Amino acid sequence: MNPDQLSTAFYMVARLADKLGEAPIKDKVWTHKLDDHWSIKINGFHEEKDSVPPYHMMIEFNGFPAGCVSPWEGVFAAGTEANEDEFIDAVIVKLEALGMDVSEIREEDLRKKGQARVSPEQAESEIKEFLEDID
C-alpha cells in the first residue's frame, strides 16, 4: 500500500466512525446519515454486501449515488454541491459537532485535493486499525 495515495474521504469517515464508537468495521456493513444531504455505507467484508464492493464506501447525496471509494482509490461526483470536497467538509463539520479538534485538518496548506489532510503515515495507521488489517 502506498500511503501517499490514501483516500481523504475514506480517512475522514474512518475518523468519524471511530469517534462514534463504530470502528472497527471488519465483518459488518456500517451505514450513517451524515447530515440532511449526505449518507454513507461502508462494507467491511471480503465480499460485496448490500451492493457495496469489499472494503469500499458508497456515498449518497440527497439519496442519489455520489461516490464509491476505498482507502486507496475511487470515483466521486463532480457537481456543484455533490463532490468530494463538499463531502469532506460535511464530515469535518460533523466531527466538530462531536467535539473533535479539527484544527490541523482545517489548515489551508493541507487542503490539497486528493491528498490526506494529515501525514500519510498517520492516515495509513488509522485506516489499517479501522479495517483491522484487511490483508
| Domain-wise residue ranges, the chain | 3-130
Cell numbers at 109, concatenated: 496548506
What's the confidence (pLDDT) of residue 128?
Answer: 66
List CB contacts of 127: < 8 A, sequence separation 6 or more: 6, 10, 11, 14, 71
User: Which range has highest mean pLDDT (81-85, 114-118, 131-135)?
Assistant: 81-85
Query: Of all residues in the chain, what percent carry a pLDDT higher than 90?
Result: 56
Whether the per-residue pLDDT at 115 is higher than 80: the answer is no
| pLDDT bucket at 121, cuts 50 / 70 / 90 | low
Three-class secondary structure of residue 3 per DSSP:
helix
Write out pLDDT tens, residues 46-100.
999 999 999 999 999 999 999 999 988 889 999 999 999 899 999 999 999 999 8
DSSP string, 83-118: BHHHHHHHHHHHHHHTT---HHHH-GGG--TTS-SS
Does the structure show a pLDDT above 60 at 22? Answer: yes
